[in-house]
A and B are shown apart, each in its own frame.
Chain A
């Protein structure tokens, strides 16, 4: 699996967009990018995934660069409840396990 690099922590003001970067420079053509988050003491929560194209759902948007070496998760209007650790994961199709790194600890402040 391709290795990912994320900043250790980030801050964001409530109501503003939170942009969480992820570097996956060794990603190969059939590897997807997945994002999960873990709110304190809870189980992780699936957010979004993508391969090449940008993706959007009710929770977030995922922007993947054309060369696929990096991506950004965007929470358009961060709330205090978005405070969590965000994990960027890449995987090869048809493999089975999620490999969680250390993630980015996002703190949303009032």
Chain B
């Protein structure tokens, strides 16, 4: 059973470009979560999604950031017009519906904005 997959593992973008981060949850998991980790800091919750629904986006910046989890395909975290402060590791996690606190994390995408 493959774990949570994230791609790309490393992404370099220039200021003003768009970044798209993809996450495929574990097989059978219907819940997806995105977290951000700035260098030398802890993980911060961003958004929680189920298929075709955003359940909690209280940790998402109000501008430039969006997330989706379509009926088919991976979850996407999209950052428009990236700035240097967006440079971070972005982790995706997934869980079963009735075990939302037993989250399984992917390897992360390291975004560098130049």
Contacts and interface: CB of A to CB of B under 8 A. Distances in A.
B contacts with A: majority SS = strand
Contacts of A100: 35, 42-45
A3 to B, nearest CB: 14
Interface residues of B, number: 24
Interface string A39-51: 0011111100100
Given A44-B43, A96-B48, A91 B107 contact: no
A53 B104 CA distance: 24
A contacts with B: majority SS = loop
Nearest to B42: A100
A92 B15 CA distance: 39
Interface in B97-114: 100-108
Given A44-B43, A102-B42, A97 B102 contact: no
Contacts of A99: 45
A46 B42 contact: no
A49 to B, nearest CB: 7
A72 to B, nearest CB: 19
Interface of B: 4, 33, 35, 42-45, 48, 55-56, 58-59, 89, 91, 93, 100-108
Given A46-B102, A87-B42, A99-B45, 6 more contacts: A43-B4, A44-B43, A44-B93, A45-B105, A49-B102, A102-B42
